[in-house]
Chains A and B, each alone.
Chain A
Amino acid sequence: MYFYNLFKRRDHATVVTVVFHTMRSSDIKRAAGLLSKLRRRVSVLDAYIVYYGERTGVASSIPLHYPEELYSRGSALYDGSRLASSSLVVFINAGSKCFTPDSVVDAVDSILTGEAIIYMSAPSGSQGLFTGFKSITRELGGESTRLGLMASPAYSIVVTLAKYVKRYSFWSIEPFIALNATNTSGKAIRVNNECVDLVDLGWLEPLIITDLRSRLVRYLQPVSDMGDGS
């Protein structure tokens, strides 16, 4: 009976890889708590923390990975997708105040049923980053409709298939997956903007916006102009 209950609690037989990402070492301990909450609802094959902050030698019960590029959230998420054993990856900001197991279950559901290729919940960043991102999407003209649902280039909870993580900017992978996904299907993006994780990005903010703008423009250049668009 005990085992029956144990299985009943899980909403999915499908296994996922959970990738926590953070720049603050204090969030590493928190990730273990979030993972144990999540394990009750979703079958987790493996979990990692990608830590893109500067302090090394931090202890963690979850395997810890240090990306080569320091302070780069985009590189950290990309590395997380490379480490994943499962094809379905759940990226969670370890410092998020918006995390609930329900939002992850909902996201996994929508990916498994084929409703979406990427599910993003809880925009994360500073007010400046949100406005900057909006201005970038406006500049991109016709492409803005494909990224129009997104309030931020970074989300605290992102669920997608690992194979769609192909490109990244300094801070995000989300817009690139979204553009990839919309090539496949118009309804491929699901976004939940209800809860917002406000983070002070300080000196990183202008750097993130400039880098994102240039990388998105380069990505969307016609092949004839820019080779393979890389």
Chain B
Amino acid sequence: MRIALVTTARFSRLALELLRNIKTPTALHVFSMDPEVEAVAREVKAAFNKFNSIEELYMYRELESCDIGVIALDRDSDSIAVTRILGKMGVPLVFIVLNTRGNMELARGEGAEYVISLDEYVVGNILPIILMDSWVSMRIIDAFNLGVAVYRVWKRGVLGVKLGDFLDKLKGKPAMLMVYDKAGRIVMNEDHVLEQGDALILIAKYSELLEYISSIEKIFSKYEEYVARRYSEQFPTMPRTMG
């Protein structure tokens, strides 16, 4: 297998981590505009090529024999331009690391098979901790179209919903639901009653997450209705008089 890595000094630690962990016999080619990256290439015994402009990559014939291309550059526009070049040079599988999720479609349009967006990870890691009673979803492995959605229970912790109610709804569907309770344990017991501070974790195909979330939401709203009705029957209210 031959892997071409096009990167900058900013991603050199990521590059080193990736290349070190490839255990199968692999020919590695590192391309960079930054001379500092040569140290990384030497560390993993990869061939290093320095280029001054992106168009220069067309001159490296070894790219034509590469099976996999990994691109991680500082600017998304540069990464997308390199994707186009690798595609033209016949690299069959291209991974691209983007800063902005918005550029995903453009990268795919240029032939990137797998797109990893950094902002999605950052936002996806921060929001579930800050936001209460709302769903936060993110893609975890783009190649498998795998996604995870997290819901931190707060106000709805008083409803008395059981995990089993959701599991019944998701039965037979390719999705996994679990609770990360406030003590830091993963709970999959059907009889577990959701409490304030619990987090619901849903794992499924990223494209299907929304569908499962809406069926879970329906159960939540049904419970809200029960609770509202119970309270309204307990405390009869009088219509407001005119004037």
| A interface, CB within 8 angstroms of B | 48, 56-57, 63-68, 78-80, 82-83, 85
Contacts and interface: CB of A to CB of B under 8 A. Distances in A.
Interface string B68-94: 000000011110110010000000000
A65 B79 CA distance: 12
Contacts of A64: 102, 105-106
Can you list the 8 inter-chain pairs with the closest CB atoms, starting with the nearest? A79-B77, A66-B102, A82-B77, A56-B102, A66-B100, A63-B106, A68-B99, A83-B77
A79 B75 contact: yes
Contacts of A67: 76-77
A65 B84 contact: no
Contacts of A83: 77, 80-81, 106
Interface residues of B, number: 16
Given A68-B99, A85-B84, A63 B105 contact: yes
Given A67-B76, A79-B77, A82-B78, 20 more contacts: A48-B106, A56-B102, A57-B102, A63-B106, A63-B109, A64-B105, A65-B102, A65-B103, A68-B75, A68-B76, A68-B100, A79-B75, A79-B76, A80-B77, A82-B75, A82-B81, A83-B77, A83-B81, A83-B106, A85-B84
Nearest to A60: B105
8 contacts: A56-B102, A57-B102, A63-B106, A65-B103, A66-B76, A67-B76, A68-B75, A85-B84
Contacts of B156: none
Nearest to A84: B81
Given A82-B54, A82-B81, A65 B106 contact: yes
B2 interface: no
Contacts of B109: 63
A67 B100 CA distance: 8
Contacts of A78: 77
Interface of B: 54, 75-78, 80-81, 84, 99-103, 105-106, 109
Contacts of B81: 82-83
Nearest to A79: B77
A65 B101 contact: no
A57 B103 CA distance: 10
A64 B100 CA distance: 12
Contacts of B105: 63-64
A63 B80 CA distance: 12
A66 B99 CA distance: 10
Contacts of A79: 75-77
A97 B103 CA distance: 28
A179 to B, nearest CB: 20
A83 B109 CA distance: 12
A67 B76 CA distance: 7
Contacts of A68: 75-76, 99-100
Nearest to B104: A66
Contacts of B54: 82
A155 to B, nearest CB: 21
Contacts of B77: 65, 67, 78-80, 82-83
A85 B84 CA distance: 9
B78 A66 contact: no
Contacts of B76: 65-68, 79
B31 to A, nearest CB: 16
Nearest to A55: B102
B197 to A, nearest CB: 31
Residue with the greatest number of chain B CB neighbours at <10 A, chosen from A57, A64, A78, A83: A83
A80 B103 CA distance: 13
Nearest to B84: A85
Nearest to B74: A68
Nearest to B55: A163
A63 B105 CA distance: 8
